[in-house]
Amino acid sequence: MRTGSLPPGSVVRAPGRANLIGEHTDHTDGLVLPVAIDRTVRLTVEVSGGDRIRLTSAQAPGVVDVAADGSEVPADGWGRYVAAVAAELTGLGRDPVGLTGALDSDLPQGCGLSSSAALEVVVGTALCLAAGFGLEPLQLAAACRRAEHRAVGVPSGIMDQAASILGRRGQAVLLDCGTLEHRTVPLPADHALLLIDSGVRRQLETSGYAERSRELAAALPVLGGRRPLEVDPAELDDLLADVDAVPARRLRHVVTENARVGRVVAALEAGDLVTVGRCFAEGHASLRDDYEVSIPELDGLVDLAGEAGATAARMTGGGFGGAIVALVPVDRADDVAAEVVDGARARWPQREVVAHRCSAVDGAGLLT
Ligand code: ADP
Ligand code: MG
């Protein structure tokens, strides 16, 4: 059995992510533009010499103790992610090298910053290092994505895991979810990233997403096999003329959203933040009116951020709750955050609205 290099005291880290734009585009092989953020899951870890994976977490009770080949699946809890990642890597040929470690995280859970993907990626990275098992970044991302499905039955896209692995300091990651082609896109150095959590948890997520997907699928045949990203929004009126109103709106969102990703990338590269702001506003309106996944709290947070001086703001993540993302001039970032949070608390006293000021960081790896 092969053992790799993971000396005692090694620390592996994996960041969470925020999606700048490209929402509900991944399931139809479209474009997304996530950022790996400086909120991370860290794992202090060493090779144990046995064939068990034993982990604790500062954020969760108990000890996870599973077979290093992932063959034992806990009935519930965060150990399911650990076992599922191990099982996926075993399927790819990783030797069942055990490890012992302690997790710690400053990435809030359940508010759409993808703590589950960061957990999968940190465990996957450590398991690969422990066994001297080399995988291409996107192979690891795909294994972690399958692990999420295996662990909790959520058939999500590859964006979250890919962002946690491919992220670069000061950059966003443009990813084509169909071809998996990707490249980095510079973020404005004089702007900070604000993520403002509405405090509303995504209760409708599973049923709501499935319903949207079904409605979208009903409209897709009019594309004659083209991906939505291959369609010019100017074609939509003709294409959708005979499509029922609801499926038509779902497809309108996906086609225009792919186009907006392209426009945001071009604008970021040209330093044209006015256009970025306009695209974010259009993207939010499209999620609210055409895809219908926003909620009043997210609409309100976007308005408050604009009034407080954000350059660009929109809801981020799947919707039905979660957070907004805003680009804000660095020297105004703390003031804008405070103003939005105060305004939101005045409107919704029962909500725990929290602002996270973030920056773009490198993807997962070993801390030296
Ligand atoms: P999100 O990915 O949006 O944060 P999820 O519900 O998909 O929300 O994932 C949250 C789950 O991930 C938690 O319930 C827990 O099982 C697991 N998790 C995330 N971070 C940690 C951590 N630091 N320690 C243990 N489990 C974690
Ligand atoms: Mg998750």
Q: How far apart are the first and last CA of the chain?
A: 26
Confidence of residue 2 (pLDDT cuts 50, 70, 90): confident
Q: Could you write out the three-class secondary structure of 258-272?
A: HHHHHHHHHHHHHCC
CA distance 244 to 231: 19
Ligand number nearest CA of 16 is 1
- The pLDDT of residue 173 is 98
Task: Enter the tokens of residue 270.
Answer: 């040209």
Confidence of residue 204 (pLDDT cuts 50, 70, 90): low
Looking from the CA of residue 105, the nearest atom of ligand 1 is: 23
pLDDT at 23 exceeding the cut of 90: yes
Q: Which protein residues touch ligand 1 with a CB less than 6 Å away? A: 41, 57, 59-60, 78, 103, 105, 109-110, 112-116, 119
Query: Which residues partner with 314 through β-bridges?
Result: 325
Which DSSP symbol is given to 319? S
Confidence of residue 282 (pLDDT cuts 50, 70, 90): very high
| Between 109 and 70, residue with greater pLDDT | 70
For residue 218, the SS3 value is: helix
Complete domains list, the chain, with CATH: 11-183+362-367 (3.30.230.10), 188-358 (3.30.70.890)
Mutate to test the pocket of ligand 1, among 115, 156, 160 (most ligand atoms within 8 A of CB): 115
Q: How many helices (H) and strands (E) does the chain have?
A: 10, 13
Closest CA relative to residue 358, chosen from 167, 137, 174: 167
Give the CB-side neighbour count of residue 258, counting CA atoms within 13 A: 22
- The pLDDT of residue 291 is 98
The answer to whether 195 and 113 are in contact (CB under 8 A) is yes
Looking from the CA of residue 78, the nearest atom of ligand 1 is: 16
Among residues 95, 160, 197, 290, the one annotated as catalytic is 160
- The pLDDT of residue 130 is 96
- The model's pLDDT over 214-262, given as tens digits with 9 standing for 90+, comes to 999 999 999 999 999 999 999 999 999 999 999 999 999 999 999 999 9
Protein residue with least CA distance to atom 12, ligand 1? 116
- The pLDDT of residue 203 is 63
Least confident of 25-29, 80-84, 333-337: 25-29
Q: Is the pTM of this model over 0.85?
A: yes
- The pLDDT of residue 208 is 83
Protein residue with least CA distance to atom 20, ligand 1? 115
CA distance 180 to 13: 23
- The pLDDT of residue 349 is 95
Confidence of residue 153 (pLDDT cuts 50, 70, 90): confident
Tokens 């996957």 -> residue: 124
- The pLDDT of residue 205 is 61
- The pLDDT of residue 284 is 98
237 part of the active site: no
Q: What is the CA radius of gyration of the chain?
A: 21
Sign of CA dihedral 148, 149, 150, 153: positive
Ligand 1 centre to CA of 116 (Å) is 4
Q: Report the share of the chain in percent with pLDDT over 90.
A: 90
Tokens 């083209």 -> residue: 226
Mean pLDDT over the full length of the chain: 95
